[in-house]
């Protein structure tokens, strides 16, 4: 690896070759072509799927334009979240303050769209010019008689991860506000699924089949009224732990609701998720149903995976995704279809995640935190990778290097969660890795 | 879908943009900088801006888009971003080895008062810029203008830094290409070649954002305007600047700095605007128009003749950037269509004047608006009041297209749900032919799909 930045050497680790622990949760170096985004982005992607809320972005137009319908978080009902609302701050507002504009915009919007609640995102510039967003939200909330929740997400205040926290802070103001609701037995909340490609709907079906009730999902296909009732659940089942752990912990403290961390990617993790929930309720019948469901699904899934596995056996994969927990599932899912992970990394992983990855992956696997295109392409070449799993900015790099690609981020078109998702995943990986297009040039 | 959320009743909005028909300055600066060879754009602000701009450009071009960021944190906001930028310059030259770093600011760095030229000056005086390497800069506060303004500011920054006047006049023209696709840049070069006019095209994203598949990842692909070319712009005969919003600033700077006079002309979209472009080139380059160019024009006119009955009176809604919308509206009028609704989020007072000239007599019912509150909600509301037959604009029109069942031709930025824009030009007569083909196909596909059985025709 020739051109790795010296300061970054502690954030790259090859299993079995060096003793040091992987450094992570560091700020990106100035001047790096980082694949990371900002605090605002973190809060926006988490809250965006709440479909009957108003999402108003207080800042210059760009922040709203780039997050307009940013990922395919589907809704089974209202589509208010798919519109882009902005105060579109201009120079005048920056000089004289944007509060009057925010007040007017919020008022006009609430009157026009009658949302169930409103989220107001403050951006970099708002933090600097010192608008009192919280005060404006309080005022409008009192006048309009709806919840207006400030999301303090100034871009520079940290990394995308801090945006997740800002989102959780806003959500926690809603949770627990409907006490009249009586939850049915065996009620859970799903935390950290965003219903990309309709994945939540598949998960719901599994849970319903084993007799588990879902009060709400935070935030896929989300609804304000359901979020208000979330504190009545018996347990929080957290998938994207990077984003929703703050809320899970807070609900544990405040409402005594325990949480478990699960993953829905790959057969093993999907099955474990169902077993763990059944185990939590200590319900034999539920566990039995879960086992039946899993064996039923596997009975059709394993033979269906076989032809893919035959073709993909021994192929090598590189993974670079947002959250490290997802990477862990992906390593296992790839193994199931015969593929070996030779590089794995994330933008926001923590020590625990990376330790788990070290245990899980084979010797010589490169583990990397907060990487950049130079490193990624060097690693890919060095390891002779056949498949890259990543997001929007990694896709064209992988293709230019002449290797297959699978999007495991915003641009996912196929549901990859659950048993069905595993088959979709195998299909997508197969289609990309074995595409005839790769024969037209030398790699 | 969005139908539920848009009412036809237009309420006067005081402080609100819904579904913008624009975005912010830095992305324009980033795009312009990518059209210089060996250049790494650098975003001076939080990581998010850089990340969003790279994602959006990547989605539009389906190509790797490289750019670095100053990675602002709270510390930078309190103490200023100077140390971040200085560290960034050192890191970038060491690790990514570009020839040029093109720094643009963001709303954040502008507001905390970072002075880019002072910081870059400091980097130079302290020896942080290696011999033969360059750092250029442009102020691009996101709360002023739009993405087009950012593009204009960076192109201005480029010529300000590079263009030099020497004693030797060069027999060449400067072409400031405006914010167009790599395919359009390629088409401009093709037309100029046919006219046998030597030129420097700035910027030039062809072979950068439409690079061929080789199995290699090139941080700096082979395309882009080179340093010697940019330096030589100060010695050119004349500058042809395409599109007032995107290029006028740079043209004026070239004139002030190197005494190279310029002609402002519209982007060559459609017949008349291309005529004006060709004439401007012929005049400035002292050449005559070759027959091959006249033939291209003749073919475009021929196809319009063949199909004019399908175009007559069709009502069209357009949105996008002023430099595109003005000649496009003119082209539509020339094809006997009616561009009835036009919005652009990009401010600029000439917009109304130009639209009035083009539409005043031929489409008196036309509504057009730019700047504040000229957004896709307004467009949708106009359409709900009185529908149109065709939509032309960027990807974001697909919501309206689906809700109102209106055929839709994608043109502009961004287009993230179709391909073709970066490979097939819309400029020049050949580009006009492509626009025409797309319009006809969209209209006829709809007719075929929806007309009653008894009026379903084979020959159209």
Work out the number of other CB atoms within 10 angstroms of the CB of residue A185. Answer: 10
Which residue from B minimizes the CA distance to A28?
A: B71
- CB within 8 Å: A393 and B51: yes
Contact (CB, 8 A) for A221 and A74:
yes
SS (H, E, C) chain B: CHHHHCCCCCCCCCCCEECCCCCCHHHHHHHHHHCECCEEEEEECCHHHHHHHHHHHHHHHCCCCCCEECCCCHHHHHHCCHHHHHHHHHHHHHHCCCCEEEEEECHHHHHCCCCHHHHHHHHHHCCCCCCCCEEEEECCCCCCCCHHHHHHHHHHHHHHHHCCCCCCCCCCEEEECCCCCHHHHHHHHHHHHHCCCCEEEECCCCCCCCCCCCCCCCCCCCCCECHHHHHHHHHCCEEEEECHHHHHHHHHHHHHHHCCCEEEECCCCHHHHHHHHHHHHHHHHCCCCCHHHHHHHHHHHHHHHHHHHHHCCCEEEEECCHHHHHHHHHHHHHCCCEEEEEEECCCCCHHHHHHHHHHCCCCCCCEEEECCCCCHHHHHHHHHHCCCCEEEECHHHHHHHHHHCCCEEECCCCCCCCCCCCCCCCCHHHHHHHHHHHHHHHHHHHHHHHCCHHHCCCCC
Q: Which residues from chain B sit within 8 angstroms of residue A128, using beta carbons?
A: 77, 108, 111-112
Distance CA B86, CA B170 (A): 37
Chain pair A-B, CB pairs under 8 angstroms = 252
Q: Do B215 and A441 make contact, defined as CB atoms within 8 angstroms? A: yes
- Shortest CB distance from B213 goes to which of A104, A125, A441? A441
Mutation test of the interface with chain B: which of A7, A37, A65, choosing the one with the most B Cβ atoms within 10 A? A65
Residues A155, B49: C-beta atoms closer than 8 Å? yes
User: Do A61 and B20 make contact, defined as CB atoms within 8 angstroms?
Assistant: yes
CA distance B84 to chain A (A): 6
CATH of domain B25-162: 3.40.50.1980
Domain B173-291 fold is Rossmann fold (3.40.50)
Spatial distance between the Cα atoms of B65 and B392, rounded to a whole number of angstroms = 26
* Residue ranges in chain B modelled with pLDDT below 50: none
Distance, in Å, from the CA atom of A32 to the CA atom of A424, rounded to the nearest integer, reads 35
Beta bridge partners of B339: B316
Q: pLDDT grade, residue A106 (50/70/90)?
A: very high
* Interchain pair A29, B71: CB under 8 A: yes
C-beta separation of A59 from A124 below 8 A: yes
Indicate which of A25, A33, A130 best probes the interface with B, i.e. most B CBs within 10 Å of its own CB.
Answer: A33
Question: Which residues of chain A does B89 touch, with a Cβ-Cβ cutoff of 8 Å?
Answer: 31
Whether A5 has a pLDDT exceeding 70, the answer reads no
Architecture of the A313-412 domain: 3-Layer(aba) Sandwich (3.40)
For tokens 């930028």, name the residue: B85
Backbone dihedral angles phi then psi of residue A422, each to the nearest 5 degrees: -60, -40
Domain limits, CATH 3.40.50.1980, in chain A = 39-164, 187-292, 313-412
Asked if residue A205 has a cis previous peptide bond (ω within 30° of 0), the answer is no
Q: Tell me whether residues B91 and A32 touch, CB distance under 8 A.
A: yes
Is B74 in Cβ contact with A156 (below 8 Å)? yes
CATH superfamily of A39-164: Nitrogenase molybdenum iron protein domain (3.40.50.1980)
Given a cut of 50, whether residue A1 has pLDDT beyond it is no
Position B1 scores a pLDDT of: 56
Compute the distance between CA of residue B222 and CA of residue B36 in angstroms, rounded to an integer: 10
Is there a contact between B5 and A64 if contact means CB atoms under 8 Å apart? no
Q: Which residues of A touch B68 (CB under 8 A)?
A: 31-33
CB contact under 8 Å between A64 and B17, yes or no, is yes
Can you tell me the distance from the alpha carbon of B262 to that of B422, in angstroms, rounded to the nearest whole number? Answer: 28
Query: Chain B partners of A86 at a C-beta cutoff of 8 Å?
Result: 16-18, 20
End-to-end alpha carbon distance in chain B: 33
User: What phi and psi, each to the nearest 5 degrees, are found at residue B212?
Assistant: -75, 160
Q: Which of B46, B54, B92 sits opposite A156 (nearest CB)?
A: B46
Look at domain A187-292 and name its CATH class: alpha beta
Contacts of A159 in chain B (CB under 8 A): 47
Please tell me the CATH code under which domain B292-453 is placed: 3.40.50.1980
Q: Do A94 and B111 touch (CB under 8 A)?
A: yes
Which among A85, A156, A402 has the least Cβ separation from residue B76?
A156
- Chain A: give the shortest CA distance to residue B8, in Å: 12
Q: B214 contacts in A (CB within 8 Å)? A: 400, 441
Q: Is the predicted pLDDT of residue A71 greater than 90, yes or no? A: no
Quick check: ipTM above 0.95?
no
Query: Which of A27, A61, A80 comes nearest B71 by C-beta?
Result: A27
**Distance, in angstroms, between A423 CA and closest chain B CA?**
25
Mean pLDDT of A148-160: 90
- Give bridge partners of residue B103 from the DSSP assignment: B42, B137
Q: Give the count of alpha carbons within 13 A of B32, CB side only.
A: 34
Q: Which of A31, A33, A65 lies at the smallest CB-CB distance from B66? A: A33
A95, A126, A37, A244: CA torsion to nearest 10: 180
pLDDT in tens, B345-360: 999 999 999 999 999 9
Domain ranges of chain B: 25-162, 173-291, 292-453
The strand order across the sheet containing A85-86 reads A147-152, A117-122, A53-58, A85-86, B17-18
Structure tokens at A192: 């950290």
Asked whether the beta carbons of A116 and A223 are under 8 A apart, the reply is yes
Confidence band, pLDDT 50/70/90 cuts, at residue A20: low
Query: Which pLDDT belongs to residue A373?
Result: 82
Looking at per-residue pLDDT, the higher value among B289 and A391 belongs to: B289
Check pLDDT > 80 for residue A161.
yes
Contact (CB<8Å) B47/A79: no
CA distance B208 to B106: 24
DSSP element (H, E) containing A433: helix A418-433
Task: Over range A296-314, report the average pLDDT.
Answer: 95
Per-residue pLDDT tens digits for A234-253:
999 998 767 899 999 999 99
- Please tell me which residue of chain A has the smallest CA distance to B26: A62
Give the residue among A219, A61, A244 at the shortest CA–CA distance from A163.
A244
Q: For B91, which of A5, A400, A402 is closest by C-beta distance?
A: A5
């Amino acid at each position: 690896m020739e051109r790795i930045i010296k300061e970054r050497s502690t954030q790259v680790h090859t299993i079995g070759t060096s003793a040091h622990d992987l450094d992570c949760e560091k700020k990106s170096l100035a001047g790096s072509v980082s694949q990371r985004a900002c605090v605002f982005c973190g809060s926006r992607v988490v809250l965006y799927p709440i479909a009957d809320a108003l999402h108003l972005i207080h800042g210059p137009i760009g922040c709203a334009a780039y997050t307009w319908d940013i990922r395919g978080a589907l809704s089974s009902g209202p589509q208010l979240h798919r519109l882009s609302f902005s105060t579109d701050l201009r120079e005048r507002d920056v000089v004289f303050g944007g509060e009057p504009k925010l007040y007017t915009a919020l008022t006009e919007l609430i009157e026009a769209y009658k949302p169930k609640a409103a989220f107001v995102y403050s951006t970099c510039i708002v933090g600097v010019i010192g608008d009192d967003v919280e005060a404006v939200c309080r005022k409008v909330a009192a006048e309009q008689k709806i919840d207006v929740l400030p999301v303090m997400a100034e871009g520079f205040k940290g990394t995308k991860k801090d945006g997740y926290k800002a989102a959780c802070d806003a959500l926690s103001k809603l949770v627990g506000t409907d006490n009249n609701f009586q939850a049915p037995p065996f009620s859970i909340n799903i935390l950290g699924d965003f219903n990309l490609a309709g994945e939540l709907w598949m998960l719901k079906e599994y849970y319903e089949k084993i007799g588990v009730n879902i009060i709400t999902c935070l935030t896929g296909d989300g609804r304000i009224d359901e979020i208000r009732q979330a504190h009545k659940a018996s347990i929080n089942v957290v998938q994207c732990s990077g984003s929703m752990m703050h809320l899970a912990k807070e609900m544990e403290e405040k409402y005594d609701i325990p949480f478990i961390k699960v993953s829905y990617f790959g057969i093993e993790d999907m099955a474990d998720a169902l077993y763990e929930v059944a185990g939590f309720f200590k319900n034999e019948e539920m566990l039995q149903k879960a086992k039946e469901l899993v064996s039923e699904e596997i009975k059709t899934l394993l033979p269906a995976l076989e032809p893919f596995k035959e073709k993909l056996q021994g192929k090598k994969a590189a993974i670079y995704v947002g959250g490290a927990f997802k990477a862990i599932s992906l390593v296992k899912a790839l193994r199931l279809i015969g593929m070996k992970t030779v590089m794995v990394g994330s933008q926001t992983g923590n020590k625990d995640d990376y330790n788990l990855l070290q245990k899980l992956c084979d010797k010589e696997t490169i583990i990397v935190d907060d990487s950049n295109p130079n490193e990624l392409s060097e690693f890919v070449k060095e390891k002779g990778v056949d498949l890259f799993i990543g997001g929007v900015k990694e896709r064209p790099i992988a293709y230019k290097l002449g290797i297959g690609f699978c999007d495991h981020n915003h641009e996912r078109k196929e549901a990859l969660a659950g048993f069905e998702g595993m088959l979709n995943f195998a299909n997508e990986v197969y289609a990309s890795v074995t595409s005839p297009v790769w024969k037209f040039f030398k790699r | 879908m969005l139908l539920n959320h848009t009412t036809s009743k237009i309420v006067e909005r005081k402080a609100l943009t819904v579904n913008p028909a624009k975005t912010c300055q830095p992305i324009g600066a980033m795009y312009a900088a990518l059209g210089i060879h060996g250049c790494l754009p650098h975003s001076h602000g939080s990581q998010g801006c850089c990340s969003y701009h790279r994602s959006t450009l990547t989605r539009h071009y389906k190509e790797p888009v490289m750019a670095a960021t100053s990675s602002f944190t709270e510390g930078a906001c309190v103490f200023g971003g100077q140390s971040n930028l200085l560290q960034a310059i050192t890191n970038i030259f060491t690790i990514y080895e570009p020839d040029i770093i093109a720094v643009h600011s963001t709303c954040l760095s502008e507001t905390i008062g970072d002075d880019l030229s002072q910081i870059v000056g400091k980097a130079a005086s302290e020896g942080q810029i290696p011999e033969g390497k360059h750092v250029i800069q442009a102020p691009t506060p996101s709360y002023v203008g739009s993405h087009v303004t950012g593009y204009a500011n960076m192109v201005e920054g480029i010529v300000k830094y590079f263009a030099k006047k020497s004693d030797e006049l060069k027999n060449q023209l400067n072409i400031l290409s405006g914010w167009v696709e790599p395919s359009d840049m390629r088409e401009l070069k093709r037309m100029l070649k046919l006219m046998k006019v030597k030129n420097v095209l700035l910027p030039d994203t062809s072979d950068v954002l439409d690079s061929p598949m080789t199995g290699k990842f090139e941080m700096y692909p082979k395309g882009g305007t080179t340093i010697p070319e940019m330096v030589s712009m100060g010695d050119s005969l004349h500058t042809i600047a395409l599109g007032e919003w995107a290029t006028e600033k740079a043209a004026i700077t070239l004139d002030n700095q190197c005494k190279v006079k310029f002609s402002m002309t519209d982007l060559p979209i459609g017949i008349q605007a291309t005529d004006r472009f060709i004439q401007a080139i012929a005049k400035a380059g002292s050449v005559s128009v070759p027959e091959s160019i006249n033939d291209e024009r003749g073919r475009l006119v021929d196809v319009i003749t063949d199909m004019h009955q399908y175009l007559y009176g069709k009502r069209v809604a357009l949105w996008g950037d002023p430099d595109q919308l003005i000649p496009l509206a003119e082209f539509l009028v020339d094809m006997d269509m009616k561009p009835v609704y036009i919005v652009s989020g990009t401010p600029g007072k000439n917009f109304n004047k130009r639209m009035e000239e083009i539409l005043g007599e031929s489409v008196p019912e036309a509504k057009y608006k730019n700047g504040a509150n000229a957004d896709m909600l307004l467009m949708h509301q106009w359409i709900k009041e009185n529908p149109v037959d065709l939509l032309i604009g960027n990807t974001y029109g697909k919501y309206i297209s689906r809700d109102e069942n209106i055929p839709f031709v994608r043109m502009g930025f961004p287009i993230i749900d179709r391909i073709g824009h970066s490979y097939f030009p819309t400029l020049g007569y050949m580009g006009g032919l492509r626009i025409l083909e797309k319009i006809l196909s969209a209209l006829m596909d709809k007719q075929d799909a929806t007309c009653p059985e008894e009026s379903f025709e084979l020959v159209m």
